[in-house]
Chains A and B, each alone.
Chain A
Amino acid sequence: MARPEGCALVTGSSRGIGAATAIALAADGWPVRVNYRSDEQGAREVAEKIEAAGGSATVVQGDVADPAAVKALLEPGEDGPVLCLVNNAGLRLDGLSPQIEDDQWQRVIDVNLTATFRATREALKPMLRARYGRIVNVSSVVGLHANAGQANYAASKAGVIGFTKTVAVEVARRGVTVNAVAPGLIETALTEEIVGGELEKAIPARRVGTPEEAAACIRFLASEEASYVTGTTLTVDGGLSA
């Protein structure tokens, strides 16, 4: 089925994987909503890049941890309903599990998992009606394999994978696909303190990935060509979890 009129929303797309994804989706012809929480400058730069390349972008502020903001981000606008949703906004607040405070736990779950649920719930309304939709949730290899010091992050990212699978089977018969990507060590603000360390030597590719390499996977899962791919998790980690 040809793609109906609509737009793509990439949460947390002022930098890193989100920014690269917004640019990649715009190149595929999606009008893109570039969402940011605090980095307005970064979001504007992403939108400028998209427009310079002939694409269309709207910069939208909103903290995905706020239910009302999520609702607003997904309201149909001049760019149509959101028919492609990339739940990318995320954070990590690391610590060994005996030392993780309740608020460190909750904040990570709220942003990484609960916001993914709320945005998906909202996005499915127009997608089901349109008989078309693409949802890509950004998980992590840490959702698949242990990484000491990230129990809260791991729980949230494993939760994203379980959530992805179940929603995928619920809506598959309506032409809506729901998939996840599980990036390994990607060079972003979220990983800047670990890049270059011992972990890098454990990666078979012997290097960290780029945001563009992660975005390429998201772009594929969001494409029309990926219409028969749903409920899966695509790892992009240089062989780390192989």
Chain B
Amino acid sequence: MPTDVTTENVEKVIYDGLVELGTERDELSREATLEDLDIDSLDLVELAQIVEDEFGVELKGDDVKDVKTVGEVIDLVVSKSS
């Protein structure tokens, strides 16, 4: 069963995912930019996969091409599920 898409749940999954991709946990915040965290396009593909596995929400290339911050990724997942 997919996890409920609440902002809190999404934030946890995104944060854990970013740590798995090599980001230091103390660098994480909603305002942190993906560029500053050294998250590249392939990392975003993986993050999208983590989100899909966890919540059943599919993020396509067009959806994520303009996101800049961690908060925007979280909001995008929440908005895509509603």
A residues adjacent to B (C-beta < 8 A): 125, 128-129, 170-171, 173-174
Query: How far apart are B64's CB and chain A's nearest CB, in angstroms?
Result: 15
Docked-complex contact A125 and B42, CB < 8 angstroms: no
Residue ID in chain B nearest A173 by CB atoms: B42
Docked-complex contact A129 and B49, CB < 8 angstroms: yes
B residues adjacent to A (C-beta < 8 A): 42, 45-46, 49
Docked-complex contact A174 and B42, CB < 8 angstroms: yes
Residue ID in chain B nearest A172 by CB atoms: B42
A170 to B41, alpha carbons, bound, how many Å? 10
A125 to B59, alpha carbons, bound, how many Å? 13
Contacts of B49 in A (CB 8 A): 125, 128-129
Residue ID in chain A nearest B46 by CB atoms: A128
Q: List 11 A-B contacts (CB under 8 A).
A: A125-B49, A128-B42, A128-B45, A128-B46, A128-B49, A129-B46, A129-B49, A170-B42, A171-B42, A173-B42, A174-B42
A104 to B42, alpha carbons, bound, how many Å? 36
**Contacts A128-B45, A129-B49 known; 9 new A-B pairs at CB < 8 A:** A125-B49, A128-B42, A128-B46, A128-B49, A129-B46, A170-B42, A171-B42, A173-B42, A174-B42
A170 to B49, alpha carbons, bound, how many Å? 16
Contacts of B45 in A (CB 8 A): 128
A129 to B46, alpha carbons, bound, how many Å? 7
Give 5 nearest A-B pairs by CB, closest first: A125-B49, A128-B46, A129-B49, A129-B46, A128-B45
Query: How far apart are B61's CB and chain A's nearest CB, in angstroms?
Result: 11
A90 to B49, alpha carbons, bound, how many Å? 29
Residue ID in chain B nearest A174 by CB atoms: B42
Contacts of B42 in A (CB 8 A): 128, 170-171, 173-174
A186 to B42, alpha carbons, bound, how many Å? 38
Residue ID in chain A nearest B48 by CB atoms: A125
A171 to B49, alpha carbons, bound, how many Å? 15
Contacts of A125 in B (CB 8 A): 49
Contacts of A128 in B (CB 8 A): 42, 45-46, 49
Residue ID in chain B nearest A124 by CB atoms: B45
A174 to B43, alpha carbons, bound, how many Å? 10
Query: How far apart are A75's CB and chain B's nearest CB, in angstroms?
Result: 13
Residue ID in chain A nearest B45 by CB atoms: A128
A4 to B22, alpha carbons, bound, how many Å? 20
Contacts of A129 in B (CB 8 A): 46, 49
